[in-house]
Amino acid sequence: MAMQAGLGRRGPAEAGRMEVLNAAATVFMERGFTATSVDDIAEVLGSTKGRIYHYYRSKADIFLDVLTLSMLDLLDRIRPIAERRDLPPDERLHAAARMHAVVMMTQSARSRVAVQGTEMHLMQEAGTKQRRVLQAFVDMRDEYEQYFADIVADGIREGIFRDVPPRLAAKPILGALNWINMWYRPRPDSDIDKIADEFATFVVNGLRPFD
Amino acid sequence: MAMQAGLGRRGPAEAGRMEVLNAAATVFMERGFTATSVDDIAEVLGSTKGRIYHYYRSKADIFLDVLTLSMLDLLDRIRPIAERRDLPPDERLHAAARMHAVVMMTQSARSRVAVQGTEMHLMQEAGTKQRRVLQAFVDMRDEYEQYFADIVADGIREGIFRDVPPRLAAKPILGALNWINMWYRPRPDSDIDKIADEFATFVVNGLRPFD
DNA sequence: GTCTATAATTTGATAGAC
DNA sequence: GTCTATCAAATTATAGAC
């Protein structure tokens, strides 16, 4: 036990495991899944493979854990925002988009890897257990996207957003925000808050009617 | 000769070469650079490696050619739009965004790989010639992005767009559009024109002032 | 728990027949 | 111009010492 992916919602794993996880996330973020070797991860850890394979059965299992934790983190952050029914939909969407943008810019490796999750199809030949974890990730991503779609739907109902299929409308919103991790690199003088504000305004206004 | 990457602006390559290129683009698009083996490409070609290595010196060279052709194609498409100074900036941006969205959805493999070009850092250890081609690609991408930034700047000058740094404004625009290739898959009933229109409207409105 | 081999496989690239 | 080996290197994963 404690050897497979899917710690998922079952609480914090032991410390050694988390160290491996974080080191792996760093490298996965930089090079992607395939281009990352287990030796690369070990190097970041300042150890050898032995340590990694003590905690994880395979490279894919590590990757899946990174994905899982990232999505759980994002879900934890979006829920309190989605529940703020006191805010009008445009302000709620602004808050949600802002949060997402900030996470893209500030979160250490982990939260960024989730975006790259596209590479997952590399593991389609993987075993049943891995496919189950992968499906769990996809489900969480859909759930996350649905939060945005729901806010959009609210805004349409109230007449402050254009009438577009909410689920489709969520795509360019999350696209504009997720894309941040393709170009943004932390710099001493980069103003994360300003960028997040501007991007949040951009996606909210994108849904507003014109004329 | 005819063995290296960088056919670039030097006109159409011979047919055999293009066949290799298109097959490679297909697989690169699906699996990314690292996860694609030369044997995979050969399989799509219905041949063996020998044929591929007759035209290309390395896998990286093929990838660079795919990137180059994709960007040249996009540049060819954006220029006539950018030059239409008869159109007001918002309509020009709409046309440019629409074009880009359509390319993301319709272009065969080639044009989609350019977006994935992020994986290029995988080749940073590559030789001088490859780095030069890679730099040429980055330059073209910057040039392409600049066309969008210029349209935004025009719109700001005319007071129809919010006052944001044009280059920064181009990021969520291209993010929303590029992200299409992460989720869109061709389907018989999917209405490309409708989606492209909606996304173009979304990014144009995103820049408009509110209140 | 972590390390040092090392096995087993994959893969980029080459050589040489046809 | 394409194919059939085949090499050399990298890489995932395991075994067993400490």
CA distances from B161 to A98, A208, B151, B169 (A): 21, 14, 10, 10
Query: A with B: how many residue pairs have Cβ under 8 Å apart?
Result: 103
pLDDT at A5 over 60: no
Please, what is the average pLDDT of chain A?
A: 90
Q: Do A35 and B198 touch (CB under 8 A)?
A: no
CB B68 within 8 Å of CB B6: yes
**CB contact B176 to A (< 8 Å):** yes
Q: Is pLDDT above 70 for A13?
A: no
Q: What is the pLDDT of residues B170-201, one digit of tens each?
A: 999 999 999 998 899 889 988 999 999 999 99
The 3-state DSSP class for residue B189 equals coil
Alpha carbon of B178: minimum distance to chain A alpha carbons (Å): 7
The residue ranges of chain B whose pLDDT is under 70 are 1-13, 108, 118-125
Closest chain A residue to the Cα of B166, Cα to Cα: A198
**How far apart are the C-alpha atoms of A103 and A138, rounded to whole Å?**
19
A175 touches B180 (CB < 8 A)? yes
- Give how far the C-alpha of residue B141 lies from the chain's centroid of Cα atoms, to the nearest Å: 8
Reported as a single tens digit per residue, the pLDDT across A55-65 is 999 999 999 99
Q: Is B177 within 8 Å of A173 when comparing Cβ atoms?
A: no
Q: Nearest nucleotide (C1') to the CA of residue B54?
A: D1
* Tokens found for residue B99: 């074009």
* B128 Cβ neighbours under 8 A, 6+ residues apart: none
Burial of B210 (0-12, 13-18, 19+ CB in 10 A): exposed
Q: Does A49 touch chain B (CB under 8 A)?
A: no
Closest of B122, B97, B95, B108 to residue B36, by C-alpha: B122
With CA atoms as reference, the chain A residue closest to B207 would be: A202
Please indicate whether residue A125 or residue B183 has the higher confidence score (pLDDT): B183
Which candidate, A35, A30, A106, A21, places its Cα nearest to that of A67? A21
**How large is the average pLDDT for residues A80-98?**
98
Å between B71 CA and C13 C1'? Answer: 28
pLDDT tens-digit readout, A147-171:
999 999 999 999 999 999 999 999 9
What is the model's pTM? 0.93
Measured distance CA(A97)–CA(A201) in Å, rounded: 9
| Contacts (Cβ under 8 Å, ≥6 apart) of B130 | B5, B58, B60, B61, B64, B123
Amino acid at A99: M
